[in-house]
Structure 1
Amino acid sequence: GIPLEPAEDSASVRLLQSRAREFASENFVVIEIYNRQRQRLVEAVNPRHERIEHELSKRGHDFPKDDRPHYQRMTIDETTLVQTVVPLRGPDQQVSGYFEGVFIVDQATMKRLREDLIHALTVTLVAVLLTTVALYPVILSLNRKVLDFSREVVKGNLEMASVLGAAIAKRDSDTNAHNFRVTLYAIALGEAVGIDATAMRALILGAFLHDVGKIGISDNILLKPAKLDPEEFAIMRTHVTLGLDILQDAEWLQAATDVVGNHHEKFDGTGYPRGLKGEAIPLNARIFAIVDVFDALASERPYKQPMSCEAALAIIQQDAGSHFDPRLVERFARQACDLHRSYSATGEETLKKLLREKGLHYFFAASQLKPA
């Protein structure tokens, strides 16, 4: 190779200068060669592009910091240029100097580059479109399967909650009708006060499972036909905390805990288990407390005859502000007797079907799914 640190008048410099002039023709604007100390040894300027070289000289350049070739695109007077600075290496692979060249990208080259780019983009776009067309049916089919599976999971959740509620009801009743009616009443009141789908799903779960803790209460207390004595009543009250214990390991049932843990709280703070007061009691629990007592009053039990809707509602209204949220009582009173007439005259299987339809509607909505 040609040494890059000769004296300025040496034969090597003259040879470099000659080679540089040969390159500095046609589309090259300027060629410069530097030694390893980055001192310029040779410069050759294309006389046809002296004006461009003059503008370039004002800009200067940076040497590569990592000893790799450096390229930069620039525009001067609407002329596209490419500047390159390339490290020159000796036989020992150590950098012994630098070559800098500025090249004009002529219109023909620019046109060819644009055409190549358009061709590459077109090929890529066509390939993407063809791949999309080929894969779309597969993706659509997989998406449908995922949605179908999600719907089945949602249905399974609702059915499991319903079965658990039925199992609890069988402990102290021969029918599931109370569970079905009280859940439908709760849905109607929830709709009246405008709770969203997620809260409605939680209300439905809570209504199904509100007495799940009664599984842990012995039959001699749970099924006692007479009034419970104070000791027995204290044991009965533990069904609330037992219910929360039962649900604590089931993440998907945690939404039910507002109702399970608080449906015996009273608006004036005299309820149990925590003595919560007013709006400190979760909304779903305040809703459920009203409909649970209303249906108990208006339903036939082994130890009592059913009250009329008007009589049951009068008791609820009398306890507004003490036992119940007065705002919710006022909303419930507007629809209670219409609902009672409808549900009390409906068989258990029809109630079950109606509840399933309403339950699925809100479970799907809360999961952002549409029915199949």
Structure 2
Amino acid sequence: MNPFNRRAAFRIAAVSVLLAAIASPLAWMVAHEAAEANTVSMAVEESQRLARHFDATALRGPEASVHAQSAANAIVGGLFDVAEIYDQEGSRLATAMTSVGAEIERLLPTHRPPDYTVETHRDLGHTNGRWVIRVFVPLKNPEGVSADEIAGYFEGVRAIPDWQLEQMFQHGLRAALMAGLASLLCGAAIYPVVVRLAADNERKASEVLASHLSLMEALGQAIAKRDSDTGAHNYRVAWIAARIAERMGLQGKAMQSMIVGSLLHDIGKIGIPDAILYKPAALDDDELEIMRSHVQQGEEIVAGIRWLDEAHDIVSAHHEKWDGTGYPRQLAGENIPLSARVFALADVFDALCSKRPYKAELGFDAAMEILERGVGSHFDPAVMAAFRPLARDVFDTLAESDEAGARGLLEKRVRRHFGIGEG
């Protein structure tokens, strides 16, 4: 499993577990409340039915207490453990209770005389080790009274039995498990879709990146061949700079900029006239000024293209020197971008060790001696310190590599640092 798939799997799993952790208790609460509401609804319906059957709603006249007590006696012991019936003024006419009701009645909070107009209930929580619900029902429709007039009140107390509590718990638990399982299954279903989309996106991004790199490579070769008879210099110097930068801890965007800038460092030479670029003799002052203008021309070229802008630091500062005697801005020390300082050393080392039409290549010791003389004036001492342990291996590797070999060395670094494959 690649790093992205592993991260995607972890994040989707984490979100799924979080959703399950949230949804499961909510589902349990909803199921629990639904069971409670169902219990109350049944109790209200049953109390109204029995009250009408025993004329408990006929709460006026001398027989009112008798009717009320008959209804209370019939209601208690079924859905209710305590049954109380009140007349229209809120005076209690009858009370009946089971043995369980007698245990909890004395522990229940008192309340004011009833005056409600709709059925309601109150969850009293756990009382004497039992879950207790109190139901309030207005009694209507007595003979000779309008349908909307309250004739009396019924109040019942139900201690939920253990079997019903277990049933409610199991129902809530099933709902919670189903909600949790649904969340996890959704995560499992989403994961392959995310991976497939990510892989497709990565493939397309890699194709775009590869095309950009190929174009930069071709552009770099074209630039190099205007200045010499080979494009291998760009490959070699970009590889050397990447090796030094790796040792100095550069990575990510900084390393990508290093490679792009190394490939395109002399892009401004496209604008230099051939008569000056290929002049076999030394350049006069005016010609030298024109030659040095390739830095400014290079800046203008890369600044206009977003994906070439990463090359800006090296293009603009690869001729600056640590002591401030370089050009075009006479930057000194750490005012010179680090990538340009690294490139400057890599560029000079490759030039010293390479054969050109106007010079022979130098051996390793001679090249290193020249670099050491330039430390503190031309080169950043920290960059040279990072290069010394690598220098011999770099020299030997390049000595055995032609242009194709140098290109292969750089390609491995490109794949590693641009995320299009390991090298």
Q: Same fold (TM over 0.5)?
A: yes
TM-score (norm: length of structure 2): 0.65
Aligned to 1:49: 101
1:352 Cα deviation after fit: 1.1
1:75 pairs, out of 119, 123, 126, with 126
Counterpart CA distance in 2 for 1:88 and 1:283 is 89
What is the DSSP-based 3-state SS (H/G/I as helix, E as strand, rest coil) of the residue aligned with 1:74?
Answer: strand
Q: Which has the larger radius of gyration?
A: 2
Whether 2:406 is the aligned partner of 1:354: answer: no
1:202 pairs, out of 250, 257, 260, with 257
1:325 Cα deviation after fit: 0.6
Change over 3 Å in CA distance of 1:321–1:134 after alignment to 2: closer
1:142 Cα deviation after fit: 4.2
RMSD: 4.6
Contact 1:24 1:44 in 2 (8 A): no
Q: What residue identity is the alignment partner of 2:269?
A: K
Aligned to 1:363: 418
Contact 1:81 1:104 in 2 (8 A): yes
Contact 2:314 2:343 in 1 (8 A): yes
Q: What residue identity is the alignment partner of 1:307?
A: L
What aligned pairs does 1:1-372 form with structure 2 within 5 A after superposition? 11=60, 26-28=78-80, 46=97, 48-57=100-109, 72=123, 74-82=125-133, 103-121=158-176, 123=178, 140-364=195-419, 371=422
Which ranges in structure 2 are unaligned for 5 or more consecutive residues? 1-58, 113-117, 141-145
Instruction: Tell me the alpha carbon deviations over residues 97-118 of structure 1, each in whole angstroms, 9 at most, x when there is no partner.
Output: x998764332222222223234
Change over 3 Å in CA distance of 1:371–1:304 after alignment to 2: closer
1:134 Cα deviation after fit: 6.8
Paired residues, number = 351
Counterpart CA distance in 1 for 2:411 and 2:167 is 68
TM-score (norm: length of structure 1): 0.73
Which ranges in structure 1 are unaligned for 5 or more consecutive residues? 1-9, 62-66
Change over 3 Å in CA distance of 1:70–1:49 after alignment to 2: closer
Q: What residue identity is the alignment partner of 1:344?
A: A
Contact 2:412 2:422 in 1 (8 A): no
Q: What residue identity is the alignment partner of 2:300?
A: D
Contact 2:85 2:95 in 1 (8 A): no
Aligned to 1:6: none
1:207 Cα deviation after fit: 0.9
Contact 1:24 1:31 in 2 (8 A): yes
Contact 1:32 1:41 in 2 (8 A): no
Contact 1:27 1:106 in 2 (8 A): no
Counterpart CA distance in 1 for 2:85 and 2:342 is 87
Change over 3 Å in CA distance of 1:249–1:74 after alignment to 2: farther
Counterpart CA distance in 1 for 2:125 and 2:303 is 67
Counterpart CA distance in 2 for 1:181 and 1:268 is 26
Q: What residue identity is the alignment partner of 1:304?
A: K
Counterpart CA distance in 1 for 2:192 and 2:267 is 46
Contact 1:213 1:243 in 2 (8 A): yes
Change over 3 Å in CA distance of 1:240–1:109 after alignment to 2: farther
Instruction: Tell me the alpha carbon deviations over residues 131-157 of structure 1, each in whole angstroms, 9 at most, x when there is no partner.
Output: 777776665544443443344344334
Counterpart CA distance in 1 for 2:138 and 2:326 is 86
1:70 Cα deviation after fit: 7.9
Q: What residue identity is the alignment partner of 1:313?
A: M
What is the DSSP-based 3-state SS (H/G/I as helix, E as strand, rest coil) of the residue aligned with 1:80?
Answer: strand
Counterpart CA distance in 1 for 2:328 and 2:155 is 85
Counterpart CA distance in 2 for 1:220 and 1:71 is 100
